[in-house]
Amino acid sequence: MSQIVTFGEVLMRLSPLGNKKFMQSNRLEFYFGGTEVNVAISIANFGGKVKHISCISDDFVGDTAISYLRKFGVKTASIVRSNRPLGVYFLEVGAVMRPSSISYNRSHSSFSEIKPSMVDWETSLKQCTWFHWTGITPALCEGGYHTLKEGLVLAQQKGLKVSVDPTYRSGLWKYGTHPKETLSDLINYSTIFIGGINEINELLDTNFSYSNEDFIEASKQLINKFPTIKKTFDKIRTPINASWHKIRSRMWNGKEFRETEDLDITHIVDRIGTGDAFAAGLIYGLQNFDDYKAMQFAAAASALKHTYEGDVNFSNVNEVMNILEGNTSGRFNR
């Protein structure tokens, strides 16, 4: 049976209950997340076989993180351990016009120690058919970049599909590499591009608008420059405020442009990980459906994620398919 592999940092998320601020709290809820592991867990919840590779602290916090992945059935045998602490992020959840705030403690985390010598890619990619990575990993540290590249080179050799969510965040790139060049280097090993106008403009030094016409043209130019890329998928979020968003998606698969209807998320429960749910939905969908249905599945999965607390998309395939079939009125499941 085929298996998907993800690679990236696992973070502990710490946030006060409800919409409280740290200054008015003495209790926090914790979850584990990180963009790639969120994708892994979501695919596991769809019934897929997934393996996550990371470097995790060798203490009771790290043990807890690993048991968290195991709980969802994500394979953890390739995870290495470090005596540095696990990365942490602190979250204050906003509402209405108040944005959520995040503060990171990750620059010297266990993952920041990752080095190519620590991952046995040959063993890790055995029986795998899909590799998913994001732009966060090469942004974090040089070891992340080189380790990832080694994995991608092997993945390409072995003919794995490789999806990339470039997620460009300029604040992260601090160790001396140029983001555009580094991302470009890695995208050359990838086949599915999960990103929008902003990421393409960043990579191509272009100035495309958000129009569908520009998205198509941008996608064509991207594929032209990175010929391993075959398809681009874009998730479009229309925020009314921090508590109410609309989500839709569009794609250019080299042949046709398609776009979904807006899904109206009137009462957001938790916005973290909704992009990762989209990526996971897409990875699952592209293995089971045609491109358009895969994108619909991804958009529905992303919308559903807004209804779960924490970073994880708990929805299974049936629950996502229900949304696709238009059952969005939330009637009881008995």
Q: Scan residues 149-178 and list those touching a second copy (CB under 8 A).
A: 169, 171
Min separation Cβ 80 and a second copy, Å: 17
Instruction: Determine, following the binding rule CB under 8 A, whether residue 324 of this chain makes contact with a second copy.
Output: no
How many Cβ atoms are within 10 Å of 181's Cβ, its own excluded? Answer: 10
H-type alpha helices, 167-316: 179-187, 197-204, 212-225, 274-288, 291-305
Write the CB contacts of 32 (distance below 8 Å, at least 6 apart in sequence).
10, 11, 12, 13, 64, 65, 68, 69, 311
State which of positions 40-69 bind a second copy (CB under 8 A).
Answer: 57, 59-61, 63-64, 67-68
Considering only 78, 80, 81, 100, the residue that binds a second copy (CB under 8 A) is 100
Query: Do the Cβ atoms of 75 and 36 come closer than 8 Å?
Result: no
Question: Judged by CB, which is closer to a second copy: 89, or 189?
Answer: 89
Q: What SS3 class is residue 249?
A: strand
Query: Do the Cβ atoms of 184 and 145 come closer than 8 Å?
Result: no
State which of positions 175-194 bind a second copy (CB under 8 A).
Answer: none
Which residue in this structure is represented by tokens 């890790």? 124
With CB under 8 A as the rule, give the number of residues binding a second copy: 84
Considering only 47, 104, 174, 213, the residue that binds a second copy (CB under 8 A) is 104
How many Cβ atoms are within 10 Å of 4's Cβ, its own excluded? Answer: 26
Considering only 3, 80, 90, 217, the residue that binds a second copy (CB under 8 A) is 90
Q: Fill in the per-residue mask, 276 to 315: x = in contact with a second copy (CB under 8 A), - = not in contact.
A: ---------------------------xx-xxxxx-x-xx
Instruction: Determine, following the binding rule CB under 8 A, whether residue 13 of this chain makes contact with a second copy.
Output: no
State which of positions 199-238 bind a second copy (CB under 8 A).
Answer: none
